[in-house]
Amino acid sequence: ADDRVARLLEGLNPQQRAAVLHAGAPLLIVAGAGSGKTSVLTRRIAYLLAARDVTPGQILAITFTNKAAAEMRERVIDLVGPRGAYMWVSTFHSTCVRILRAQSGLLESMNSNFSIYDADDSKRLLGMIIRDLDLDPKKFSPRGVSVAISNYKNELISPDAAAAAVNEDDLAAATIARIYAEYQRRLRAANAFDFDDLIGETVALLHRHPQVAEYYRRRFRHVLVDEYQDTNHAQYVLIRELVGEQTTASGLEPSELCVVGDADQSIYAFRGATIRNIEEFERDFSNAETVLLEQNYRSTQTILSAANAVISRNTNRREKKLWTDSGDGELIVGYVADSDREESTFIAKEIEELTDYSIGGSSSHKYSDVAVFYRTNTGSRAIEEVFVRHGIPYKVVGGTKFYERKEVRDVVAYLRVVANPDDSVSLRRILNTPRRGIGDRAEACVAVHSENTGRSFYESLIDAAEGKVALLNTRAVKQIGGFVELIEGLRADFLTHFGESDTEDADTAFLDATEESADIGELVEAIVERTGYRAELEASNDPQDGARLDNINELVAVAREFSADAAQVDLEADDDPSIEVDREGEPEPGSLAAFLERVSLVADADQVPDEGDGVVTMMTLHTAKGLEFPVVFVTGWEDGHFPHMRALGDPNELSEERRLAYVGITRAKQRLYLTRSVTRASWGQPVSNPESRFLQEIPQHLIDWRRTEPRRGARGFGGSSGGVFGRDGAFSESGGSSFGRGRSSYSADPGRGRNKQVHLDIGDRHNHPKYGMGKVVAKEGSGATERVTIDYGGSAGRVTLLTAGGIPGDK
Ligand code: ATP
Ligand code: MG
């Protein structure tokens, strides 16, 4: 056993070792990217199990993605054997779902079949509320209100507290607080939680029931959290609750807490994450100790020097310098393209060369070694088009989300209603989908009945079918009757089909499916058949409906596979009694509840391909957090794009963007490419932006510029990319600069002398290749924003042009 313990410590540097061996006081491991934070967390778990008499059931580890959780679990099992499977390793959301499900008996007016509403469901519900309260949807948009409510929830502010905190004459805030209260009321009536509730309601549960809190503290003697810099206030309080602050009356000591993070990689402020949690750790948790890691094991020194240079421009940060002893490696490759299409072509050609075994010999890479990052989801399109043409296999992580497609959501809504008939948002979504002649008016009558009687929307539908709802015509009564019959039929068939179980609540019996009967695939199939959904799509001539049909079939396949996997896991568990898995708070494998939970909690980052998939990975910079690849392309280094437009005037946002740059750069192990484009399609218009200031922050000797400047004149400012304003200053040509629309976009940075600024004064003549001869009639602004208005007469008339990047033609 000593041997095994020794092996667990092998290869760790002294700081890493100290972090693994540390016992007792709360521990913060702060370290830059690639310094082994996640590895140390994993090793620490293995060490606890192997050397400190800790049982797997006493461990709760929290990771940022489901995929990271699965990997950590596997690594621990590799290190300590199958008993590692008993640990709870999951995301904040999954952890909370387990606790809420296990304790659902303590949740007022909720049961364990609760639905989990995503952003789209929340907005639907908010839309209904805004309509029912007769509010102006322009003033109170579901999107805007949902952000406000989310902020409240991240701060653990209840509707009552929100209302109490409102300034008397702030009508808008008061209204939002009112919507918030109504939103919570309806969520509960629907037996539903939204994402933020999962955390907040767990905290509330632990506050309300100290004995439950103590139960989990007793159970989880070790709490470990990865990516601590991206926790929000609610998550922080949850951790505090789970760990316990001091020894309780019953003699229970606080659990051991170990968190790892890097303030420089905090990139989720827009989701309420706060760097405060990592910065104040030592104040929040008494006796806390801190371990610093500085040696990087991921990247070359060249890559690290670039990362250090960029992030050191942020102020108010704890200074740390990453270093490696693995050598300088290759220079970073820089490339300036004329257009995003050309940028993509460069990337494609470069990948072809990197993966060409015939010329590269040992330096050759596999497709799976390569990742391409972009600032926003739309960044994938141009690259995809070029990859398809070049035959480069790739996978886009996130972006086009299967579970967000309308038809998939429709069928999932049926599944949710079967599981949880109280789920009024899902119910109203499918009430007339596919169309069955239940109109808005009928729906409104049922809603009013539900409101007046306090019966759920589903119960109200049953009332309607029995003729007990006012103002419904006979046709509506009949159609609603048919719908209720359909749902009851599905519930009845799959209730008996899934078999009785020992759960006390009859409603939940079929959710805890048993191995011989459960098949979600059959349920999905029954839904698309009995509702006529499939028939309707098959009968359609619309090619879009063909694609929808494919997606429906894909969902059936996913559900079948899910059931088959569950049956397989069950068999394996039967074969090997040492694989003991903790099922507390988990729905039965293969059950409808388990399927719905997986569908609800699947996130972008969980779709990152594995090496075996043999594809280039494409994703946003945000999704790339925590990952590493031998070859990384970070695209779009343009001011106004990256850093994002909205950050240019806001120091806090700019710092966050810089952290994003730091995250992107530090994903690379061996080769890093930084590319930018002089013009980029944005909302269907080419926009020209100057070089990203972050790019300028990288010492130039680290970069091998393959191409620096666009061909001047031909494609530079003024031609296809010029900002051209028509008569009266209205935007008239497909131009990059668009001052009038709030998207600033200078064609060049005059300070760096890349492009020549032209000098024109009022009265000067100018011969434009396209507009012909004209005369300068007005001039305004200066430097990068200087623009002249030239009257070319004829059909061109007056156009306004930026002078910064040069204007084609002669003076
Ligand atoms: P990030 O900040 O990006 O999340 P991290 O600090 O979590 O990074 P890891 O992902 O744990 O870093 O480690 C980065 C790489 O370094 C991994 O490939 C890991 O296997 C390797 N590594 C970590 N520690 C050591 C070590 N002591 N010896 C050799 N390799 C190591
Ligand atoms: Mg990590």
Summarised one tens digit per residue, pLDDT across range 501-524 is: 334 344 444 454 443 445 899 999
Are residues 577 and 463 located together in one domain of the fold? yes
Are residues 26 and 133 located together in one domain of the fold? no
655 in a structural domain: yes
Determine whether 194 is exposed, middle or buried from the number of CB atoms within 10 Å of its CB (0-12, 13-18, 19+). buried
Per-residue pLDDT at 227 exceeds 60: yes
Q: What's 539-607 look like in SS3? A: HCCCHHHHHHHHHHHHHHHHHHHHHHHHHHHHHHHHHCCCCCCCCCCCCCCCCHHHHHHHHHHCCHHHH
In the predicted model, what is the mean pLDDT of residues 609-622?
A: 92
Per-residue pLDDT at 710 exceeds 60: no
Which-ligand-closest: CA of 292? Answer: 1
Report d(CA 571, CA 589) in Å as an integer: 12
Atom of ligand 1 nearest to the CA of 627: 3
Which residues have C-beta atoms less than 6 Å from ligand 1? 11-13, 16, 31, 33-39, 262, 265, 297-298, 626, 628
Look up the CATH number of the domain holding residue 415.
Answer: 1.10.486.10
Q: Whose CA is nearest to atom 1 of ligand 1?
A: 33
Centre of ligand 2 to C-alpha 41, Å, is 9
In the predicted model, what is the mean pLDDT of residues 232-259?
A: 92
Report d(CA 529, CA 544) in Å as an integer: 19
Report d(CA 238, CA 703) in Å as an integer: 45
The answer to whether 249 and 214 are in contact (CB under 8 A) is no
Per-residue pLDDT at 718 exceeds 50: no
In the predicted model, what is the mean pLDDT of residues 141-167?
A: 96
Are residues 407 and 389 located together in one domain of the fold? no
Determine whether 318 is exposed, middle or buried from the number of CB atoms within 10 Å of its CB (0-12, 13-18, 19+). exposed
Per-residue pLDDT at 726 exceeds 80: no
Name 707's Cβ contacts closer than 8 Å, sequence gap at least 6: 335, 336, 337, 346
Atom of ligand 1 nearest to the CA of 39: 11
Provide the phi-psi class of 67: left if phi over 0, else alpha when psi is between -120 and 50, else beta.
alpha
What pLDDT does residue 513 have?
44
pLDDT above 90 covers a percentage of the chain that reads 65
What pLDDT does residue 737 have?
30
Which-ligand-closest: CA of 625? Answer: 1
Report d(CA 562, CA 568) in Å as an integer: 10
What pLDDT does residue 760 have?
84
Residue 34 annotated as binding? yes
Q: Which letter, b or e, does each residue of 283-303 get, where b requires 16 or more Cβ atoms within 10 Å of its Cβ? A: ebbeebbebebebbbbbbbbb
List phi, psi (to 5°) of 30: -110, 135
> DSSP letter at 350?
H
720 in a structural domain: no
What pLDDT does residue 158 have?
96
The answer to whether 86 and 56 are in contact (CB under 8 A) is yes
Report d(CA 75, CA 77) in Å as an integer: 5
**At 780, is the pLDDT very low, low, confident or very high (cuts 50, 70, 90)?**
confident
Strand partners, 333: 673, 704
Which-ligand-closest: CA of 322? Answer: 1
810 in a structural domain: no
712 in a structural domain: no
What pLDDT does residue 681 have?
82
**At 147, is the pLDDT very low, low, confident or very high (cuts 50, 70, 90)?**
very high
User: Count of CB atoms within 10 A of residue 443's CB?
Assistant: 19
What pLDDT does residue 356 have?
83
**pLDDT greater at residue 560 or residue 578:** 560
The answer to whether 60 and 95 are in contact (CB under 8 A) is yes
Are residues 142 and 39 located together in one domain of the fold? no
Name 100's Cβ contacts closer than 8 Å, sequence gap at least 6: 107, 114, 193, 198, 201, 202, 205, 585
Residue 33 annotated as binding? yes
Count the helices and strands in the chain (H runs, E runs).
30, 21
Per-residue pLDDT at 571 exceeds 60: yes
Strand pairing class (798-802; 787-791): antiparallel
Query: Given CA atoms 105, 95, 74, 56 in this order, what sign does their dihedral have?
Result: negative
Strand pairing class (222-225; 256-261): parallel
Last residue of a domain, one of 566, 582, 601: 601
**At 684, is the pLDDT very low, low, confident or very high (cuts 50, 70, 90)?**
confident
**At 458, is the pLDDT very low, low, confident or very high (cuts 50, 70, 90)?**
very high
Per-residue pLDDT at 130 exceeds 70: yes
The widest CA-to-CA distance across the chain, in whole angstroms, is: 91
For 348, half-sphere exposure in the C-beta direction (CA atoms, 13 angstrom radius) is: 20
Q: Tell me how many domains the chain contains.
A: 5
CA 271 to mean position of chain CA atoms:
10
Centre of ligand 1 to C-alpha 514, Å, is 41
Lowest pLDDT segment from 295-299, 316-320, 530-534: 316-320
**At 15, is the pLDDT very low, low, confident or very high (cuts 50, 70, 90)?**
very high
User: Count of CB atoms within 10 A of residue 502's CB?
Assistant: 7
Per-residue pLDDT at 497 exceeds 60: no
Last residue of a domain, one of 674, 707, 740: 707
pLDDT above 70 covers a percentage of the chain that reads 85
Q: Which of the residues are catalytic?
A: 37-38, 226-227, 265, 667
Per-residue pLDDT at 727 exceeds 50: no
Q: Whose CA is nearest to atom 11 of ligand 1?
A: 36
Per-residue pLDDT at 795 exceeds 80: no
Per-residue pLDDT at 162 exceeds 70: yes
**At 358, is the pLDDT very low, low, confident or very high (cuts 50, 70, 90)?**
low
- Pick the closest to residue 592 from 112, 193, 191 (CA basis): 112
In the predicted model, what is the mean pLDDT of residues 569-584?
A: 63
Check if the interface score ipTM surpasses 0.90. yes
Are residues 289 and 307 located together in one domain of the fold? no
The answer to whether 736 and 688 are in contact (CB under 8 A) is yes
Q: Whose CA is nearest to atom 9 of ligand 1?
A: 36
What pLDDT does residue 501 have?
38
Query: Given CA atoms 561, 612, 61, 204 in this order, what sign does their dihedral have?
Result: negative
Centre of ligand 1 to C-alpha 294, Å, is 11
Per-residue pLDDT at 558 exceeds 70: yes
**pLDDT greater at residue 603 or residue 207:** 207
Report d(CA 291, CA 28) in Å as an integer: 6
435 in a structural domain: yes
Are residues 410 and 533 located together in one domain of the fold? yes
Look up the CATH number of the domain holding residue 315.
Answer: 3.40.50.300
Q: Which of 39, 324, 608 most suits a substitution to test ligand 1, by most atoms within 8 Å of the C-beta?
A: 39
Q: Whose CA is nearest to atom 26 of ligand 1?
A: 12
**pLDDT greater at residue 565 or residue 299:** 299
168 in a structural domain: yes
What pLDDT does residue 80 have?
86
Centre of ligand 1 to C-alpha 611, Å, is 18
What does the pLDDT look like over 375-393, one tens digit per residue? Answer: 998 889 899 999 999 999 9
Give me the count of residues in the chain.
811
Last residue of a domain, one of 601, 627, 657: 601
**At 711, is the pLDDT very low, low, confident or very high (cuts 50, 70, 90)?**
low
633 in a structural domain: yes
Per-residue pLDDT at 663 exceeds 50: yes
Q: Whose CA is nearest to atom 27 of ligand 1?
A: 12
Are residues 368 and 512 located together in one domain of the fold? no
What pLDDT does residue 4 have?
84
pTM of the entire predicted model:
0.83
Instruction: Tell me if residue 372 falls in helix, strand or coil.
Output: strand
Strand partners, 273: 232
List phi, psi (to 5°) of 323: -140, 165
- Pick the closest to residue 315 from 692, 656, 28 (CA basis): 656
Residue 677 annotated as binding? no
Residue 57 annotated as binding? no
> What's the domain range around 47?
2-104+199-295
Centre of ligand 2 to C-alpha 351, Å, is 26
Are residues 532 and 561 located together in one domain of the fold? yes
Report d(CA 468, CA 460) in Å as an integer: 9
Are residues 12 and 34 located together in one domain of the fold? yes
What pLDDT does residue 753 have?
33
Q: Which of 43, 258, 297, 665 most suits a substitution to test ligand 1, by most atoms within 8 Å of the C-beta?
A: 297
Are residues 342 and 475 located together in one domain of the fold? no
What does the pLDDT look like over 78-122, one tens digit per residue? Answer: 888 888 888 999 999 999 999 999 999 999 889 989 999 999 999
Name 23's Cβ contacts closer than 8 Å, sequence gap at least 6: 52, 256
Cα–Cα separations (whole angstroms), residue 2 to 5, 12, 50, 407, 723 = 5, 17, 9, 57, 71
Are residues 778 and 660 located together in one domain of the fold? no
Look up the CATH number of the domain holding residue 163.
Answer: 1.10.10.160
Are residues 419 and 437 located together in one domain of the fold? yes
463 in a structural domain: yes
Report d(CA 444, CA 436) in Å as an integer: 16
